[in-house]
Amino acid sequence: MSADDGITSTCQFRLVPTDYVIDSKKGLEWADYQEPQSEELAQKTADDSLKQLEEKNLLIWSKIVELVRLRKEADKIELKNLKRERVLKEINRLKEKKKELEERDAMEMKRMEYMNEINQLEKLEAMEVNNTLMKQQQVSDLYKDMLGKVIEKEQQERRV
């Protein structure tokens, strides 16, 4: 189309961003070069755009509400996990303490058994010493009796 044909065309770039998409490979579409729309059509397009924006806004807010709900749920789960971890740590601490107490009690029991055995040994030694002393006393008494009889015999022999 040249100016020599006698045909004059006007090309205006439309400024409504929702009516066209610029593709980097294709460039502008034919709709981008069309005549401006009428006032009613522009109002309808604006109303449609506003309606779309409101719908998108509502969708975004519903997503935000969902995200807040999910965040609260995640916080609850995290809090439960933290409580569970704390309880498990406390259980492990108590198990360790119980184990230490059991080991200490076992050592105390061994010590008491050892002391009991020592006491029994001391009693047995005392009994053995007493038996030995008693036997020595008996032997001593026998010797005294025998010596007394020998002395008595000698005295009787001297008298006779």
Given a cut of 60, whether residue 6 has pLDDT beyond it is: no
Q: State the pLDDT at residue 47.
A: 87
* Amino acid at site 14: R
Q: State the pLDDT at residue 11.
A: 46
Q: Among 2-11, 94-103, 123-132, whose mean pLDDT is lowest?
A: 2-11
Alpha carbon of 103 to those of 90, 95, 156: distances in Å?
Answer: 20, 12, 77
Q: State the pLDDT at residue 41.
A: 74
pLDDT digits (tens, 9 = 90+) for 90-121: 999 999 999 999 999 999 999 999 999 999 99
Domain coordinates of the chain in residue numbers? Answer: 7-134
Higher pLDDT, residue 77 or 21: 77
Instruction: Give residue 19's region: left, alpha or beta (phi > 0; psi -120 to 50).
Output: alpha
Q: Among 22-36, 50-64, 142-156, whose mean pLDDT is lowest?
A: 22-36
Given a cut of 70, whether residue 23 has pLDDT beyond it is: no
Q: Is the pTM of this model over 0.75?
A: no
Q: Residues near 9 by Cβ (< 8 Å), separated by ≥ 6?
A: 1
Mean pLDDT (the chain) is 84
pLDDT digits (tens, 9 = 90+) for 47-87: 889 999 999 999 999 999 999 999 999 999 999 999 999 99
Higher pLDDT, residue 9 or 145: 145
